[in-house]
Chains A and B, each alone.
Chain A
Amino acid sequence: MLAFILRRLLQSIAVLLTVGLVAFSLFRYVGDPINAMVGQDTSMEDREALREKLGLNDPAPIQFFHFIVNAAQGKFGLSYRTSEPVGRLIAERIPATLELSFCAAVFALFVGVPMGVYTGLYPRHWSSRLFQAVSLIGISLPTFLIGILLILVFAVWLRLLPSFGRGDTVMIGWWSTGFLTWSGLKALILPSITLGMFQLTLLMRLVRSEMLEVMRADYIKFARARGLTNRAINFGHALKNTLVPVITVTGLQLGALIAFAIVTETVFAWPGVGQLFIQSVQFSDVPVMAAYLLLIGLLFVLINLAVDLLYFVVDPRLRSQGGSARVAGH
């Protein structure tokens, strides 16, 4: 178990180094950082001096090493666009994105999983067919369209919810939260639904097909033969056996929620890192882009690590096998 965690940690570090290399290449080779930093009237000598001072004349491996060491300390240099430290820019923006992604994930899980269980248990019921049909729409409509439609209905026509921004936020240390004010909570609703809709339908369809599969399993039939209550069978025996794939997909999708909040943040003018990234792309603000890339890489790796550990909690078969098999099935 411990060996497994260590192995996973080493793999995670390898992944992060690779992402770091990509980020570094972006930094180093997309355009000339000196050009981006100095004015047009700077002389060649000054440019060369700056180049030397920033260590840009060092061999690439040395530069990469410095980049990684700095990145590990959260130092990504100054933004080309605002001349603020990149670390601070991201720290200002990340709470908005994480809160939005969290709400979207909760929405997707707490609506998607029960719907999946229901449609899996009663596949022929008319409401299951309705859910299936609606989920097809949810899975095929692009995120921005859902967002715009929601804005049209709830912000423009009904005037119930705000169409952009986070509302009022409260600072807790460096973390700005929208959870503690009424307008902050109201502002979360539409973006969360927009962002979570795809994941919801994905989860629903996944849980449904897993439930259909598991309900045919012999141990379910045997559980019925033992006279267990439907509740114990459906939620204790069946649902738990669908969890391993559900956890896998949820973990991956949580990473995707954070990474792809970009579109939703753009539609709702949500002041998160996704929006920051879009602005950085427009300005070729490479330090911010590189930091964003690394941040997303780090989040993905952390989530996957958590997912791997959750497998052990759910499936006893993995505990004795040292976790070599991701999904054990007979």
Chain B
Amino acid sequence: MAVASNNPPLLDVRNLRVEFPTRRGTLVAVDDVSFDIAPGEVLGVVGESGAGKSLTGNAIIGLLEPPGRIAGGEIRLEGRRIDNLPYEEMRKIRGARIGAIFQDPLTSLNPLYSVGRQLVETIRTHLPVSMPEARTRALDLLKEVGIPGAESRLDHYPHQFSGGMRQRVVIALALCAGPRLIVADEPTTALDVSIQAQIIALLKRLCREHGTAVMLVTHDMGVIAETADRVAVMYAGRIAEIGPVRDVVKNAKHPYTKGLMGSIPNLGVRTERLTQIDGAMPRLTEIPAGCAFNPRCAGRGSRCLSERPDLMPAGTGRAACWLHDRGGVGRPLAKETIDA
């Protein structure tokens, strides 16, 4: 789904910077991240563990865990700036305008309250409805997320549901006040593979029906390829590449994305060996000068060691790589020469 540029974005993140002050100095976990999400759009965010994708999600819903803090940039929801709101103002937006789904459905629900009570509680926090109305709405939501026998399940406790069913309840909870955006942080990682596809299909269907936009944070490229309209690839706290999902998957512009795509096994095609990217993502304390990916990049040049590339147009999307700059990567460097 290509989004016309004259539509105002639902979510607009500009130059977001998330820092962790530590005893040995400040760690920059998310650095100069900018993207937007249009109404009803699904933006996939992929990256390795520690790339800053979950932190970006948490920053948007205003739930960065201290000492982490937003140190720069702006987050706007429907044109309104939300990154500097007082806690109480942001609380009213959470759940009502922005829903969230977390990784582990087993631990996302309070074990001591029935799912009906948790739904009703959330509905009545955000909507001016009576108890019976809230209960009816809770029941409708449970039916909508495909819980069999919803009437009798309303008064059941989380431990009486399977993992997949619990994640359906979590989705119902995230949707209960009709949010415009859902931040889904690894919503299927903790589930059985057979359940994952169902949950993703459900999330996709519900969001299409409700016109809800989704920021889908995951490290599963398959989920992204199936679900997202656009994808942002994060590396070491920055966006390496962002663009329409089809183009990023088939025709990646950033060497890191290329490597990432090469590492996905292709069903039915017997390849000799999956390609892999040598090395590991640098720790936050050891991000090299220039392009953060340069120690692992086969195509790097002298410029990559000294100048940090920002996102620049590349194909249908944008990539943070000097390959796509008129100036190029500079003097080519063989990989081994620097390692030595």
Asked if B94 contacts A317 (CB within 8 A), the reply is: no
Task: Identify which of A51-59, A113-121, A224-232 touches chain B.
Answer: A224-232
Q: Is A92 an interface residue (CB 8 A)?
A: no
Contact A226 B173, CB 8 Å, known A316-B159, A317-B157: yes
A226 neighbours in B (Cβ, 8 Å): 94-95, 99-100, 122, 125, 173-174, 176
Report the separation of the CA atoms of residues A252 and B112 in the bound assembly, to the nearest whole angstrom. Answer: 23
Contact A228 B95, CB 8 Å, known A217-B107, A219-B108, A330-B107: yes
Q: Kindly name the residue among A217, A219, A226 whose own CB sees the greatest number of chain B CB atoms within 10 A.
A: A226
Asked if A228 contacts B122 (CB within 8 A), the reply is: yes
Q: Is A315 an interface residue (CB 8 A)?
A: yes
Contact A225 B125, CB 8 Å, known A219-B107, A316-B159, A330-B111: no
User: Nearest Cβ in chain B — how far from A226, in angstroms?
Assistant: 4
Q: Is B29 an interface residue (CB 8 A)?
A: no
Report the separation of the CA atoms of residues A315 and B110 in the bound assembly, to the nearest whole angstrom. Answer: 11
A46 neighbours in B (Cβ, 8 Å): none
Asked if A241 contacts B111 (CB within 8 A), the reply is: yes
Asked if B93 contacts A218 (CB within 8 A), the reply is: no
Asked if A320 contacts B107 (CB within 8 A), the reply is: no
- What total count of A-B pairs have CB within 8 Å? 82
A330 neighbours in B (Cβ, 8 Å): 106-107, 111
Asked if B160 contacts A320 (CB within 8 A), the reply is: yes
Taken residue by residue from 92 to 125, chain B's Cβ proximity to chain A (1 for < 8 Å, 0 otherwise) reads as 1111100110101011111111100000011001
Report the separation of the CA atoms of residues A236 and B125 in the bound assembly, to the nearest whole angstrom. Answer: 13
Taken residue by residue from 260 to 271, chain B's Cβ proximity to chain A (1 for < 8 Å, 0 otherwise) reads as 000000000000
Q: Is A93 an interface residue (CB 8 A)?
A: no
Report the separation of the CA atoms of residues A315 and B114 in the bound assembly, to the nearest whole angstrom. Answer: 11
B170 neighbours in A (Cβ, 8 Å): 222
Q: Is B126 an interface residue (CB 8 A)?
A: yes
User: Nearest Cβ in chain B — how far from A285, in angstroms?
Assistant: 49
Report the separation of the CA atoms of residues A228 and B96 in the bound assembly, to the nearest whole angstrom. Answer: 10
Contact A241 B110, CB 8 Å, known A222-B170, A232-B125, A317-B159: yes
Q: Is B61 an interface residue (CB 8 A)?
A: yes
Q: Is B63 an interface residue (CB 8 A)?
A: yes
Interface size class of A (residues with CB under 8 A): 20 to 34
- B179's nearest neighbour on chain A, judged by CB, is A227
- A224's nearest neighbour on chain B, judged by CB, is B63
- List residues of A (213-250) whose CB comes within 8 Å of B's CBs: 217-219, 221-230, 232, 236-237, 240-241
B110 neighbours in A (Cβ, 8 Å): 219, 223, 237, 241
Q: Is B69 an interface residue (CB 8 A)?
A: no
A222 partner, pick from B100, B114, B126, B177, beta carbons under 8 A: B100
Q: Is B91 an interface residue (CB 8 A)?
A: yes
User: Nearest Cβ in chain B — how far from A158, in angstroms?
Assistant: 44
User: Nearest Cβ in chain B — how far from A231, in angstroms?
Assistant: 11
A320 neighbours in B (Cβ, 8 Å): 159-160
Asked if A232 contacts B121 (CB within 8 A), the reply is: yes
Asked if A227 contacts B159 (CB within 8 A), the reply is: no
Report the separation of the CA atoms of residues A228 and B102 in the bound assembly, to the nearest whole angstrom. Answer: 16
A221 neighbours in B (Cβ, 8 Å): 63, 102
Asked if A229 contacts B91 (CB within 8 A), the reply is: yes
- List residues of B (157-183) whose CB comes within 8 Å of A's CBs: 157, 159-160, 170, 173-174, 176-177
Report the separation of the CA atoms of residues A219 and B107 in the bound assembly, to the nearest whole angstrom. Answer: 6
B95 neighbours in A (Cβ, 8 Å): 225-228
B157 neighbours in A (Cβ, 8 Å): 316-317
Asked if A225 contacts B94 (CB within 8 A), the reply is: yes
A225 neighbours in B (Cβ, 8 Å): 61, 63, 94-95, 99-100, 102, 174
Asked if B94 contacts A227 (CB within 8 A), the reply is: yes
A316 neighbours in B (Cβ, 8 Å): 111-112, 114, 157, 159
- List residues of B (113-162) whose CB comes within 8 Å of A's CBs: 113-114, 121-122, 125-126, 157, 159-160
Contact A229 B125, CB 8 Å, known A224-B63, A316-B111: yes
Instruction: Name B residues whose Cβ lies closer than 8 Å to a Cβ of A.
Output: 61, 63, 91-96, 99-100, 102, 104, 106-114, 121-122, 125-126, 157, 159-160, 170, 173-174, 176-177
Besides A218-B107, A221-B102, 14 more A-B contacts (Cβ < 8 Å) are A222-B100, A222-B102, A222-B108, A222-B170, A225-B100, A226-B100, A226-B125, A227-B91, A227-B95, A227-B122, A228-B121, A240-B112, A320-B159, A330-B106
Task: Return the 7 tightest CB-CB contacts between A and B, nearest first.
Answer: A227-B95, A225-B100, A218-B107, A227-B94, A316-B157, A226-B95, A222-B108
